[in-house]
Every structure is written in structure tokens, then in C-alpha cells.
């Protein structure tokens, strides 16, 4: 496996999990954020971490973009920052691989237009999509581990039981990300023959007994939702 120099931009659970996966497996890994407390914490855990204003092109060049950086993870939770970073990095080095996180279809389109190599949409993520999107084994394995249970997040199914607080609710009113720190991917509608309905499709599906919610999030949050739904 070729040793690469990779930079991860952004400070959140996903970027930290990716850093953990890659730390000992690439030639050089740099963790960059604009959150001083997070940078200090990452440095204490042995990561090469810098607090950098990455809206400054000169700072990006000093980090090695345009020289020896082969892959960038644009993982800010603010879509506009990821778009700006993608544009800047592409302008400095048209060959650098940019893997960007998005929170909406509109931002995903902007990221692609800005030149992102791959766009990760947590609302429609799946194991097959990840492997199709990311051809490099190292990157594919990293994202798959992070998202599907070998790191900070799990993909899980939750069946709607009779008399559960979920029974009769509409997808658009659940707000699981606010109440449980979970991302709702969609629902399997048993009445429609196991049809999967993505939340992002805009269909305001009414949940019924036997429907199956598909969520991504920390294991403890999934278990908390499961217990609440059973109660």
C-alpha cells in the first residue's frame, strides 16, 4: 500500500474517527481545524494537529497542498466551508483528491461543481455506495469502518412496534438528529413490499407497525432510541 500524505479538515466525530483509522497507515497525516480546544485535544492524543485559517490560500500551500498532499478530507459540518476549501484546494492543485462531506443535496451539487472528487452524503449513505464511490482501498475501508460500526458510528435497523411512540408518526416530524444525535436514512415500508424510502426523497411517509427505520449514529444513541420506542 502506497504511503500518502493526507489532511483532514474539520473537527467533529467523523473527522476524528477517520483520523484514528488513518493515523498509523499513511505516510503523513495532518489534522487541521479552527477549533483551538479540539486541536489541543488531538495533539494530546498524539496527532499532528494544527489550528489554521484554511480560507487563506497561502496557509494551504504551507500545509503542503500543491506539493506532496495527495488526499484532502473536507469534513467541516458547515457546507459553505467545505465548498470554499474545495475551490481553493483545486485552484492550488488540480490533481489533489478532495473527499467532501455534505449536509444537503444543494450543497452536494455545489461541491461537485467546485471540483470535489467524491461527495459523502450521510443521508443516503450505504456500504455499496461507499465502495462504488471510493475506489482506493485505503479510503474505502476507512469510511466503511467509521460508518458501519467498527469506530464511532453504527448503521442500525429499528422496527416500529404497536403502541410505540413511533407508530403513526410521519418521517418529517421525527427530528431524530435533534433528540437522539442520530441521522435517519429512511424507512422500509412493509405494506409496499419492503420498499425503501429515503428521507431525502421528500416523501412524508406515515410510520406503521412493522415499518423499519434505518439510522446512523453512536451505538449508545441507537440503544436509547430503541429503549424509548419499546417503552
Based on the fold, state whether residues 65 and 173 are members of the same structural domain. no
CATH code, 18: 3.40.50.720
Based on the fold, state whether residues 139 and 162 are members of the same structural domain. no
Cα atoms in the Cβ-side hemisphere of radius 13 Å centred on 143: 26
Based on the fold, state whether residues 170 and 194 are members of the same structural domain. yes
- Give me the pLDDT at residue 23, please: 75
What is the pTM for the complete model shown?
0.56
- Give me the pLDDT at residue 200, please: 57
- Give me the pLDDT at residue 130, please: 41
Based on the fold, state whether residues 14 and 104 are members of the same structural domain. yes
- Give me the pLDDT at residue 78, please: 87
- Give me the pLDDT at residue 201, please: 60
Mean pLDDT by 10 residues, the chain (231 residues): 77 78 80 87 86 90 92 90 94 92 83 88 51 47 52 72 87 78 77 66 78 81 88 64
Number of domains within the chain: 2
Based on the fold, state whether residues 88 and 187 are members of the same structural domain. no
From the number of C-beta atoms within 10 Å of its C-beta (0-12, 13-18, 19+), residue 24 rates as exposed
Based on the fold, state whether residues 131 and 221 are members of the same structural domain. no
User: In sequence order, what E strands does 139-192 have?
Assistant: 154-159, 183-189
Based on the fold, state whether residues 135 and 216 are members of the same structural domain. no
Q: Which residue range forms the structural domain that includes residue 166?
A: 155-230
Amino acid at each position: 500500500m502506497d504511503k500518502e500524505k493526507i489532511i483532514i479538515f474539520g473537527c467533529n466525530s467523523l473527522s476524528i474517527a477517520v483520523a484514528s483509522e488513518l493515523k498509523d497507515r499513511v505516510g503523513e497525516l495532518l489534522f487541521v481545524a479552527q477549533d483551538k480546544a479540539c486541536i489541543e485535544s488531538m495533539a494530546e492524543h498524539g496527532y499532528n494537529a494544527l489550528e489554521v485559517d484554511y480560507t487563506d490560500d497561502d496557509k494551504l500551500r504551507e500545509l503542503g497542498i500543491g506539493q506532496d498532499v495527495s488526499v484532502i478530507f473536507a469534513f467541516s459540518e458547515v457546507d459553505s466551508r467545505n465548498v470554499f476549501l474545495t475551490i481553493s484546494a483545486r485552484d492550488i492543485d488540480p490533481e489533489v483528491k478532495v473527499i467532501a462531506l455534505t449536509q444537503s443535496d444543494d450543497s452536494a451539487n455545489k461541491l461537485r461543481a467546485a471540483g470535489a472528487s467524491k461527495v459523502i452524503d450521510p443521508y443516503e449513505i450505504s456500504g455499496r455506495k461507499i465502495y462504488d464511490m471510493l475506489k482506493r482501498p485505503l479510503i474505502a475501508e476507512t469510511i466503511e469502518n467509521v460508518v458501519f460500526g467498527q469506530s464511532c458510528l453504527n448503521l442500525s435497523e429499528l422496527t416500529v412496534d404497536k403502541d410505540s411512540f413511533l407508530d403513526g408518526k410521519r418521517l418529517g416530524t421525527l427530528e431524530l438528529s435533534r433528540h437522539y444525535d442520530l441521522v435517519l436514512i429512511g424507512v422500509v415500508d412493509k405494506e409496499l413490499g419492503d420498499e425503501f424510502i429515503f428521507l431525502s426523497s421528500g416523501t412524508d411517509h406515515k410510520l406503521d407497525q412493522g415499518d423499519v427505520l434505518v439510522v446512523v449514529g453512536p451505538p449508545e444513541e441507537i440503544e436509547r432510541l430503541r429503549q424509548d420506542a419499546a417503552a
